[in-house]
């Protein structure tokens, strides 16, 4: 059999093939590195565009009015010792657009009107700091509402579907709080001549009231009959009506009026 003989050119051919392979390997490694770099750069950008922020401070009187009509999202309002209103909002994508309007008597924010005609709107989560003496009027279609440390004329908090309402550190003459599903916490001082209305369709209503308060009460729980007067049971004169579905009575001098209705949940009183 005839042996194959290596020619003087074969080592050069082998060297050329090896060089080409090395270049291809380097190119593949470079492409992989570039792909990884793009992924790292684009990931934070996607997060930034997924949520937008709004932050602005407005001058205000001590007894200013804040009116907010939200579409969906959390609302957190806190009283502070400054003559200004500070709004911070986190807007989830697709971001809503809204324009706060400063008027003589207060600040108006109407997300519902500013987004009318748009169905693809993400939640707007508000944190708003207002002077202690503010009047606060809040609405949202869906989401929790929290109000803390307000001593103005009125607090109104309405959730038209699902969401909890937490009112704490409240010293005002008029409170209206209502939701469809969700709990309501009312931790407040009842003022002489004050009127307080708490209504829920499904959830629990908890009331923490100063033990020395005087008030006229009408509490109604049509479905559950779950009305717990706590320590106030021994401090007032009570009339249990409609097979305990309603409790009417007076505590102390009856100087405030308190009406609360929970269709499918409980009503619980705690003295503090």
3-state secondary structure 4-24: CCCCCCHHHHHHHHHHHHHHH
Q: Characterize 148-164 residue by residue with b for buried, 16 or more Cβ atoms within 10 angstroms of its Cβ, and e for exposed.
A: ebbbbebbbbbbeebbb
pLDDT of residue 120: 82
pLDDT of residue 214: 97
Domain membership of residue 48 (yes or no) is no
Look at the pTM and tell me if it is higher than 0.75. yes
d(CA 189, CA 197): 14
Looking at the chain, the whole-number percentage of residues with pLDDT higher than 90 is 75
Q: H-helix or E-strand containing 29? A: helix 10-50
pLDDT of residue 26: 55
Domain membership of residue 11 (yes or no) is no
Domain membership of residue 17 (yes or no) is no
pLDDT band at 22 (very low <50, low <70, confident <90, very high): low
On average, the pLDDT of the chain sits at 86
Question: What are the pLDDT digits (tens) for 56-112?
Answer: 999 999 899 999 999 999 999 999 999 999 999 999 999 888 999 999 889 999 999
d(CA 35, CA 38): 5
Domain membership of residue 18 (yes or no) is no
pLDDT of residue 4: 46
Domain membership of residue 154 (yes or no) is yes
pLDDT of residue 51: 53
pLDDT of residue 116: 86
Question: What are the pLDDT digits (tens) for 25-47?
Answer: 555 545 555 544 444 444 433 33
Question: What are the pLDDT digits (tens) for 158-213?
Answer: 999 999 999 999 999 999 999 999 999 999 999 999 999 999 999 999 999 999 99
Domain membership of residue 43 (yes or no) is no
- Structurally, the chain folds into a number of domains equal to 1
139 pLDDT higher than 70: yes
Range of the structural domain that residue 159 is part of: 53-271
DSSP-based three-state secondary structure for 175: strand
Domain membership of residue 40 (yes or no) is no
d(CA 86, CA 81): 12
pLDDT of residue 118: 82
66 and 107 Cβ atoms separated by less than 8 Å: yes
Q: Which two tokens stand for residue 261?
A: 């209705």
Domain membership of residue 24 (yes or no) is no
């Amino acid at each position: 059999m005839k042996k194959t003989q290596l020619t003087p050119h074969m080592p050069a051919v082998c060297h050329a093939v090896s060089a080409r392979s090395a270049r291809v390997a380097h190119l593949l490694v470079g492409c992989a590195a570039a792909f990884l770099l793009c992924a790292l750069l684009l990931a934070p950008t996607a997060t930034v565009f997924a949520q937008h922020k709004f932050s602005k401070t407005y001058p205000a009187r001590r007894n200013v009015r804040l009116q907010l009509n939200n579409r969906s999202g959390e609302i957190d309002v806190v009283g502070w010792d400054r003559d200004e209103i500070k709004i911070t909002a986190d807007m989830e994508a697709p971001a809503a657009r809204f324009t706060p309007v400063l008027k003589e008597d207060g600040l108006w924010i109407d997300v519902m009107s500013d987004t009318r005609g748009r169905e693809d709107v993400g939640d707007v989560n508000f944190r708003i700091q207002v002077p202690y003496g503010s009047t606060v009027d809040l609405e949202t279609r869906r989401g929790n509402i929290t109000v803390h440390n307000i001593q103005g004329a009125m607090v109104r908090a309405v959730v038209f579907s699902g969401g909890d309402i937490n009112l704490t550190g409240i010293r005002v003459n008029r409170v209206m709080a209502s939701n469809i599903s969700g709990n309501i916490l009312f931790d407040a001082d009842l003022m002489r001549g004050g009127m307080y209305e708490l209504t829920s369709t499904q959830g629990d209503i908890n009331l923490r009231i100063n033990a020395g308060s005087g008030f006229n009460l009408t509490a109604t729980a049509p479905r559950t009959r779950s009305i717990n007067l706590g320590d106030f049971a021994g401090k007032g004169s009570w009339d249990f009506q409609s097979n305990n579905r309603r409790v009417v009575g007076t505590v102390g001098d009856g100087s405030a009026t308190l009406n609360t209705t929970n269709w499918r949940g409980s009503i619980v009183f705690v003295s503090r």
